[in-house]
Amino acid sequence: MERGCCVFAGLLVFLGLWALSAADPVKFMDCGSKSGNLTMVDITACPSLPCQLHKGKTYGVNVTFISLTTSKTSKAVVHGILSGIPLPFHLPNDDGCKSGIQCPIRVGQKYNYINSLEIKEEYPSVKLVVKWQLQDDKDRDIFCWEIPIEISS
Ligand SMILES: *[C@@H]1O[C@H](CO)[C@@H](O)[C@H](O)[C@H]1NC(C)=O
Ligand SMILES: *[C@@H]1O[C@H](CO)[C@@H](O)[C@H](O)[C@H]1NC(C)=O
């Protein structure tokens, strides 16, 4: 009886630690990374999904991937998917080579793509899915991930 209690308590502590360490990198859906191996998506201050993003704030995005291709260029394409409909999102800087990636991109090399997502005051308070692609010079996805977010004031 007593033993059972302590094993149970130990399990709770273990689960608690696990939750803490799993809090930072975001659980993403890979939507078809072809010419890269996507390993991590990190969004500042998103401990659980959907990411709670507040108007007037800017969130850091840090994507870790290993390239499976060589490419001179890389271009980010971002959509907000609202009720299943993808709406293009204008990114002020869509050049991956100016977002922490040293170009040309080489095969087998690990990169961190660094950008930010500004939630403007005029955005509606909605839940949506962010789809973020980085394309190589043949328009193939080096990475593609989707993460649900919720915008509020
Ligand atoms: C992607 O990375 C994971 C973890 O490093 C590895 O196990 C897997 O084999 C890699 N996939 C490819 C296609 O390189
Ligand atoms: C991005 O993530 C990598 C891996 O965790 C880390 O080493 C790097 O410092 C991060 N870069 C920024 C700008 O946060």
Is 4 inside a domain boundary?
A: no
Residue 44 in contact with ligand 2 by CB distance below 6 A = no
Give 48-105 pLDDT, tens digit per residue. Answer: 999 999 999 999 999 999 999 999 999 999 999 999 999 999 999 999 999 999 999 9
What is the reported pLDDT for 20? 44
Q: Can you give the CATH number for the domain in which 106 is found?
A: 2.60.40.770
Is 140 inside a domain boundary?
A: yes
| Residue range(s) defining the domain that contains residue 145 | 25-152
Which segments of 23-101 are extended strands (E)? Answer: 29-30, 36-43, 51-54, 58-67, 75-82, 85-89
Measured from the Cα of 114, ligand 2's closest atom is: 13
Give 114-137 pLDDT, tens digit per residue. Answer: 999 999 999 999 999 999 999 999
Is 5 inside a domain boundary?
A: no
Give 9-64 pLDDT, tens digit per residue. Answer: 555 555 444 444 434 689 999 999 999 999 999 999 899 999 999 999 999 999 99
Query: Strand 36-43 vs strand 51-54: parallel, antiparallel, or unpaired?
Result: unpaired
Taking the C-alpha atoms of residue 149 and residue 82, their distance in angstroms, rounded to an integer, is: 11
Measured from the Cα of 62, ligand 2's closest atom is: 1
Is 95 inside a domain boundary?
A: yes
Beta bridge partners of 128: 149
| Dihedrals phi, psi of 50, to nearest 5 degrees | -65, 150
Question: How many domains, the chain?
Answer: 1
Is 38 inside a domain boundary?
A: yes
